[in-house]
Structures are given as structure tokens and as C-alpha cells.
């Protein structure tokens, strides 16, 4: 299910695998935002993550609730929320833990340019 602006909410392993396959076929990077409904920092950064998805349509932006997808959160060693994981062609290339907007913008811009 896609939110406006290209942020896709991943709610199943099948949806996750489909987005990985789609991004890989299109040569796009994925930024996965591991979040939780009860997480205040997650709520504060969410509108900025959405804005970044509008600014960078060449990147696939995903939102993953750790309570709905605990196995995926474990796979990516998510210990705190929000955690942003950057992947390309199935390989993890970067990560950011915490709701630091400046760092998130810097990492997105840096990877978008590469």
C-alpha cells in the first residue's frame, strides 16, 4: 500500500520481497524506515521522510512497523526506532539510527547523487 508521495507501508513478507525485486529491476536504492506507532521520534520524523520521498522519486521509500514485521526488524538488527536502512541491489549500504533530520537529509542526498 502506498501513501501519497511514494512512501510504501510494508505489511507482509510478500510485499517486502516484491519491493526488493521491483527496486532491483529498476536499479533504485531503497530506504527502509523501521518505525513503531508508539514511538514519538518516529512520529516527528515521519512528515520529513514523506517530504524526502517527494524530493527523490528515484529512491524507493518504505515504512516498516517493527511490531507488525518483527522478523524483518530482527534481520536488519533494529534495536531502536526509528532506524533507516539504505539498500541497493539487496546489499545494505548505510544506516541511520534516530530521528536526526539533518543526518537523514545528508545521507539521502549523498546516496541519491551516487
d(CA 29, CA 110): 12
Is residue 49 a contact partner of residue 7, using CB atoms and an 8 Å limit?
Answer: yes
Catalytic residues: 39, 42
Among the listed residues 85, 79, 40, 91, the one whose alpha carbon sits nearest the alpha carbon of residue 62 = 85
Rg over alpha carbons for the chain, rounded to the nearest Å, is: 13
Amino acid at each position: 500500500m502506498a501513501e501519497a508521495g511514494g512512501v510504501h507501508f510494508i505489511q507482509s513478507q510478500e510485499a517486502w520481497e516484491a519491493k526488493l525485486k521491483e527496486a532491483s529491476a529498476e536499479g533504485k536504492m531503497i530506504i527502509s524506515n523501521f518505525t513503531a506507532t508508539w514511538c514519538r521520534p518516529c512520529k516527528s520524523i515521519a512528515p520529513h521522510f514523506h517530504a524526502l520521498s517527494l524530493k527523490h522519486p528515484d529512491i524507493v521509500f518504505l515504512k516498516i512497523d517493527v511490531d507488525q514485521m518483527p522478523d524483518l526488524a530482527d534481520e536488519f538488527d533494529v534495536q531502536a526506532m526509528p532506524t533507516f536502512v539504505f539498500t541497493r541491489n539487496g546489499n545494505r549500504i548505510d544506516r541511520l539510527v534516530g530521528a536526526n533530520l539533518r543526518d537523514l537529509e545528508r545521507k539521502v542526498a549523498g546516496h541519491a547523487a551516487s
